[in-house]
Each structure stands twice: as structure tokens, then as C-alpha cells.
Amino acid sequence: MSLQTLSEWLRCPNCFLPLHPGGDLLLRCDRGHSFDVNKRGFINLLTGPRKFIGDSAAMLDARDRFLLAGWYSPLRDAIRALVAGESPRRLLDVGCGTGYYLGAALPPGDDVRALGMDLSPIAVSRTIRSHDRVDGLVADVWSPLPLRDGVADTVLNVFAPRNAAEFHRVLRPHGLLLVVVPQPTHLRELRESGLAVEMQADKAAHLTKSLAARFHLESHDQRSRIVELSPPEVVSLIGMGPSAYHAGATAAEGAPDLIRDVTVAFDIFGFRRR
Ligand SMILES: C[S@@+](CC[C@H](N)C(=O)[O-])C[C@H]1O[C@@H](n2cnc3c(N)ncnc32)[C@H](O)[C@@H]1O
Ligand SMILES: [Zn+2]
């Protein structure tokens, strides 16, 4: 991380003027608003009270365990190939989690940089640890983003909330927005056993409709397979997603002994900025 590369992504969350390095671990705008950069190298630009919290350390640990076992590596490779086709110099991941997809998708090149953004400071901290060309931002996708207009060549949004108007503003003209959402059959076996929360059935239709005014759908890839998981892997899979809030770690640890075959199914959409 350098203050310069981090600041090049950012605008002031108060007055929307660009942020610039303003001293030791400090970014500031020309109106005099200033913000500390964390010693670990990321910046928190959340303002005001929050209704939502990001993923906890326990969820991120579960996500790390599950992803590092390789179960979603076909998805990671598909994302990497789509991003490589764009050759972005600035890659933004909104809702970056542990940085698993961002780290893999970042193209080579000293001047190619990425920004991992998440509501969870622990997530951002882990993401920037994974790569020296990745900067980190704690911000809420539901607020006006503290990101400059047209700053990203490509935006990644994997199993994370999105903001169509803000994604359009921060993406350069004709840039690619890559969105991954679960299919209705995703984790079907866990839902049938009451171990995973119900999912919106028409997620993909809702997504394309919500983006249609600002993006046109360029590609749609569907991936579905059944994976054979060990009981601890089932626990990690439950613990890393929204079901962690509901099923709870204790329930998850007791129940999944019998469940081994689990459907994992995703829609991978490429949307081109209008
Ligand atoms: C299901 S996880 C996906 C993480 C990562 N993209 C992956 O697939 O491994 C959703 C992520 O979105 C983040 N998140 C939730 N609400 C958010 C918000 N309002 N603004 C920004 N990030 C948010 C969570 O902290 C979490 O890291
Ligand atoms: Zn300002």
C-alpha cells in the first residue's frame, strides 16, 4: 500500500472532493476533511450510524477454510478468465470478503492495481494481506461510495450486495460489472434439512431487472455441480454465509453428519456499463 495509490481511488465521504495524501497515514480533501489510514494499510470511510454489519471474524474463518479447500476454484477460474479478457488497470471488488476472488483475478503488471471494499474491517484487512497490489476500503455499499467517478475499469461483485447507481458512477464508460449470485438450487440439500436459510427464488431475474437501466447484459454463465463434503466442510459452508446468523454454529456443528452431497450452483453475469 502507498497513500498515493490508495488515494487515487477515493473521494471525500463528506464533500465528495478527491482525497490526497495529507501527511503520515492521513488522507485529506481540499476542504480540510481528513481521515486516518490504518497502520495495516486500509482506510475506513464509514460515516453515520449503520443498520448492517459486515461479516464477522468467525464467518471469515469459515469462508477461508472452505475456499482454501478448493470447492469454489472452478468459479474462481471463471472469474479470473472473464477479468483477464478485460485487461483492467483498476479492478474493484465490492463485498470482497477474504479477497479470494480478487487476489486470483488481479492481472499481472506493476501498474495494475485493485481495491477491496467491504463493510467488515476484518474482511478488508484480510484482503489486503493477500496481495501487495491490493488496497483496502471499509465502506457501505448502500451509501454514496467514497470512490471517484469512473475510477474502476472492472467491478467484481460476488455473493455481495450491490448498488446499481453507484456501480454505474464508479465504473468507467463501457467497463464490465461482473456479478455472481447463487442459483435457486444452491445448497438445496442444506435448506431441505433446515440448515440453510431460504433464498429469494428469482434472484437472477431481480438482478438483471435492477441493473437494466444502467447496464446491458453481455454474458451469462451457469455453473452447477454436486460436491461431496466432509462434515467439517459442511460446517464451514454453513458458517461462512447468511445461514451463520440463523442456524448458528452450535446447530451447524451437531447436524450435518449425514449430509455429504451438496449442490453448489451459481449464475455468473457480465454487465456492460451503458
Ligand atoms: C457472502 S460474503 C461474499 C464475500 C466474497 N465476495 C466471497 O464471495 O468470498 C458477502 C460480503 O459482503 C459484505 N457486505 C455485507 N453488507 C455489505 C454492505 N452493506 N456494504 C459492503 N459490504 C457488505 C460482507 O461483509 C461480506 O464480506
Ligand atoms: Zn471533504
Cα-only R_g, the chain:
19
Mean pLDDT across the stretch 145-170?
A: 98
- Fill in the DSSP letter of residue 106: P
Q: Each residue of 16-48: pLDDT tens digit?
A: 999 999 988 999 999 999 999 999 989 999 998
Mean pLDDT across the stretch 192-216?
A: 90
Atom of ligand 1 nearest to the CA of 120: 25
Ligand 1 pocket test: pick from 53, 55, 223, 236 the residue with the most ligand atoms within 8 Å of its Cβ: 55
Mean pLDDT across the stretch 177-194?
A: 94
Distance 29 CA to ligand 2 centre (A): 5
Predicted confidence at residue 255, as pLDDT, reads 58
203 HSE (CA, 13 A, CB side): 21
Predicted confidence at residue 129, as pLDDT, reads 93
* pTM for the full predicted model: 0.95
Query: In this predicted structure, which of 116-120, 186-190, 192-196, 256-260 has the lowest mean pLDDT?
Result: 256-260
Q: Each residue of 230-264: pLDDT tens digit?
A: 999 999 999 998 877 665 445 555 555 666 899 99
Atom of ligand 1 nearest to the CA of 241: 1
Ligand 1 is surrounded, with C-beta below 6 A, by 52, 54-55, 63, 95-98, 100, 118-120, 123, 140-142, 158-161, 241
Residue 176 pLDDT > 60: yes
Predicted confidence at residue 246, as pLDDT, reads 62
Domains annotated for the chain, with CATH where assigned, are: 3-273 (3.40.50.150)
Instruction: Give the 3-state secondary structure of residue 160.
Output: coil
Residue type for 229, please? L
* Nearest ligand to the CA atom of 182: 1
